[in-house]
Structure 1
Amino acid sequence: MTQSIQSNTVDKAARRFRHATMRDFAQMQKIYAHARTLMAASGNPTQWGTAFPRESVILDDIANQRAMLLVDEVGGRERILAQFALCPGEDPTYARIDGAWLDNDSYVTIHRIAASGLVRHAARDCIRWALKHYGNVRADTHPNNKIMQHVLESSGFARCGLIQLLDRPTDTTRIAYQRHEW
């Protein structure tokens, strides 16, 4: 491993991805709470509000091995740097789009991505990992989530149009993105 310039940074090579387990649940809840606070402070208070993702959603992601973690190790202790749900198969929310997807090929969807704030570019690292392993990736975000729009667009995703969430009565519009590694 190379020595880092700053003593409080960690070599990116030490980072790895793994599935979340029930042991990670409490820390994952803290990271989602941190993300909700940041979202609200940056002008996006309604996408996740004060309670999303619900506890049952996180538990379901863990149980079905959709919850992925970007981790590293410092001082012999593992740290969660970021987390996301990686959902294979067709997403029912994406069946109708005001616009057009890049293609109709098989894809995975990234949902509920959140960084712990311990390192820079952790969300981007998660997206790169998904692209490397799956090639065709879709995601969506709230029109007020300028940070995630920037992360997706700077990661080469195309803005494909607008979709409407199926699981809530209000604030349903999301910007849909896709990137397909040909």
Structure 2
Amino acid sequence: MQLRKATMADFDQIITILKDGANQLAEHGVDQWQGDYPSHDQIKEDIKNGWAYLAVSDDHETVGAIAIVDGPDHVYDNLNGKWLCDTDNYVVIHRVAIKSEHAGKGYATQLLNSVINKIRQSDKVDSIRIDTHEDNKAMQHLINKMGFTQVGKLHGAYRPDETSYVYELKK
């Protein structure tokens, strides 16, 4: 699995991957990404800041998308919980999606492994943070499998009545 930094030329492809991800969530009864998040403006900001990446399989096919956002991330300003590392030197994994035709083939695990390995090479990062909807059991399983620790909850960070579980991995 390779990570390729996205450019504005990749915008439509990222939007398509994320909409596909939203549809997969809806098919599994998960109410995540069913509103206006992630927005077109958010994706443009991800690309502009160098946070957006495409996941490319070993056979050179784009299979997914991800954002690796530099901290501090104000989404976490109202965390109900306690961080493992009291630091602003962290990155956040957001907006993870694998195309539906590639689901169930281990690409999400490969993608997170690639991201974690990339981040661990940085001397400027103390931890990795990630969150997911309380009903997104598949993502919670993946996050736990990758060694993250649940550190708290967010209420209303993405939509008013939505709860997300928040995780951290010490580098």
Interval containing the TM-score (normalised by the shorter chain) = 0.7 to 0.9
Give CA-to-partner distance per residue, 1:52-106, whole Å, 9 cap, x none.
Answer: 31111111111211101111365xxx52111111101211122332221111132
Report the Cα distance in structure 2 between the residues aligned to 1:93 and 1:171, rounded to whole angstroms: 15
Give CA-to-partner distance per residue, 1:14-62, whole Å, 9 cap, x none.
Answer: x311111122122212111111111011120x22105431111111111
Confirm or deny that 1:69 pairs with 2:54.
yes
2:76 to 94, 102, 107: 94
Identity %: 31
Return the index of the structure with the highest Cα Rg. Answer: 1
Q: Secondary structure at the match of 1:87?
A: strand
The TM-score, its normalising length taken from structure 1, stands at: 0.80
What letter is aligned with 2:42? V
| Aligned-pair CA distance for 1:165 | 4.4
| Aligned-pair CA distance for 1:121 | 2.1
| Aligned-pair CA distance for 1:113 | 0.6
2:161 to 139, 147, 171: 171
Deviates most, 33-42 or 94-103 = 94-103
| Aligned-pair CA distance for 1:166 | 4.0
Report how many residues are paired. 162
Report the Cα distance in structure 2 between the residues aligned to 1:124 and 1:97, rounded to whole angstroms: 26
CA contact (8 A) 2:69 2:94 kept: yes
CA contact (8 A) 1:36 1:50 kept: no
Q: Secondary structure at the match of 2:61?
A: strand
Q: CA RMSD in A?
A: 1.9
CA contact (8 A) 1:130 1:137 kept: no
Deviates most, 17-26 or 152-161 = 17-26
What letter is aligned with 1:151? L
Report the Cα distance in structure 2 between the residues aligned to 1:101 and 1:129, rounded to whole angstroms: 23
What letter is aligned with 1:153? N
Report the Cα distance in structure 2 between the residues aligned to 1:177 and 1:166, rounded to whole angstroms: 15
Structure 2: 5+ residue stretches without partners: 121-126
Report the Cα distance in structure 1 between the residues aligned to 2:9 and 2:27, rounded to whole angstroms: 29
CA contact (8 A) 2:52 2:68 kept: yes
Aligned residue in 2 for 1:153? 144
| Aligned-pair CA distance for 1:148 | 0.7
Aligned residue in 2 for 1:4? none
Q: Considering Cα pairs closer than 8 Å and 6+ residues apart, tell me whether 1 or 2 has the greater RCO.
A: 2
Report the Cα distance in structure 2 between the residues aligned to 1:133 and 1:79, rounded to whole angstroms: 20
Confirm or deny that 1:52 pairs with 2:34.
no
